[in-house]
Amino acid sequence: MLKVDIDTKMKFMHGFSHKTRIQILECIKENEKTVSQIVEDIKGNQSNISQHLACLKGCGLIVGRQDGKYVYYRVRNQLVRDLLTMFDVVLEDVQNDIASCKSHID
């Protein structure tokens, strides 16, 4: 079994711990997009989206490709897309428990 440092694992999981970052990941899950396209799709503001893109890139979840004056962002690879899909599969099974969890803080 792979041995991964727990601190590194937590930094990786941090990429998934904010609503805007999840929205961005879902937005670019299938197709690469520019910041402007992401802002339009998720109805955010450019500065905030750019900060979250930097976090996602730092966590290794997305990559950027420069094309002229635009940077196109996409999910890093199929493994990350599969992980996003797996979240949905697991959540379908446990969503009622999560909704009623008294320990969950928004």
How does pLDDT run across 42-57, given as a tens digit for each residue? 999 999 999 999 999 9
Q: Is 7 helix (H, G, I), strand (E, B) or coil?
A: helix
Domain definitions of the chain by residue range: 6-100
CA–CA separation, 31 and 7 (whole Å): 31
Per-residue confidence (pLDDT) for residue 105, from 0 to 100:
63
Assign domain 6-100 to its CATH architecture: Orthogonal Bundle (1.10)
pLDDT digits (tens, 9 = 90+) for 69-82: 999 999 999 999 99
Are the C-beta atoms of residues 92 and 57 closer than 8 Å to each other?
A: no
pLDDT digits (tens, 9 = 90+) for 3-54: 889 998 998 899 999 999 999 999 999 999 999 999 999 999 999 999 999 9
CA–CA separation, 13 and 85 (whole Å): 15
DSSP string, 21-61: HHHHHHHTSSS-B-HHHHHHHHT--HHHHHHHHHHHHHTTS
pTM of the model: 0.88
